[in-house]
Amino acid sequence: MKNLFDVSGKNVLITGAGRGLGLGYAHTFAAAGSRVFLAGRHQPQIEKIAGELRAAGGKAEAVLLDVTSSDSIDAAVSFVMGYGGTIDVLVNNAGYEQVADFTEVTRDTYDKIMAVNLKGTFFMSQAVAKCMKQTGGGKIINIGSLGSFLGLRQSSVYCATKGGVVQLTKTMALELGAYGIQVNCLAPGYFITPMTQAFYDDPQHRAWIESRIPLARWGTNEDLAGAVLFLASAASDYITGETIRVDGGWLAG
């Protein structure tokens, strides 16, 4: 049974790995023995994290990546393939949010959020899937949100992108399954990250959020470790097109 969840030696590419949940995924996979490729726009930041993971005994490399640029995606994928020979797992974690009332959302804000959360996920997955088809398969893990399932005030564009990620996951699963590629989505609830820090720091907003969570607390990186390892391992080989919600029970009500 232990071997079902073994991801040691796998090459894992994580976008948006420089902070927040992406950084948590990087620590999870490094501790599990994977070779982690930390992809992000800020090279000094991801180089520092990769160095820290190596110093702790892990295998980690920094990869410069802007998911809104086709050239950057191609260069990053080429680097990982040249270094490791395969991309066994892709975690599409890169995300962007800019809160605004629906009537105040500008075209520029709309385009920026869409470019990272949906378009970036689409074309990052496309580039990696082409490699996985040639190397015998793999796992693609898209990252959703509570906003994949319900509306959140001042997050109209974000929710539209995250709802799209769930639908994209399903269609990718249909098309890529024949090549041994499983595509699933992980949808975290409220976790303390740079994106949600302002909500956590606002006592009234924080109390409202915690009142909606049956487990009565915000999530931690450790709360996501089991789910992401499951989706990356042989334990999920017959699961594709699904979304696992890790939200403390928020959506149960």
Q: Under the phi-then-psi rule, with left for phi > 0, alpha for psi from -120 to 50, and beta for the rest, what region is 16?
A: left
Query: Quick one: which H or E segment has residue 61?
Result: strand 59-64
Dihedrals phi, psi of 153, to nearest 5 degrees:
-55, 140
- Per-residue pLDDT of the chain in tens (253 residues, 90 and over written 9): 668 999 999 999 999 999 999 999 999 999 999 999 999 999 999 999 999 999 999 999 999 999 999 999 999 999 999 998 999 999 999 999 999 999 999 999 999 999 999 999 999 999 999 999 999 999 999 999 999 999 999 999 999 999 999 999 999 999 999 999 999 999 999 998 888 888 889 999 899 999 999 999 999 999 999 999 999 999 999 999 999 999 999 999 8
Active site residue ranges: 158
Nearest C-alpha neighbor of 138 from the set 26, 16, 212, 34: 34
With 0-12 / 13-18 / 19 or more C-beta atoms within 10 angstroms meaning exposed / middle / buried, residue 63 is buried
Query: The domain 2-247 is classified under which CATH number: 3.40.50.720, 3.40.50.1820, 3.40.50.300, 1.20.1050.90?
Result: 3.40.50.720
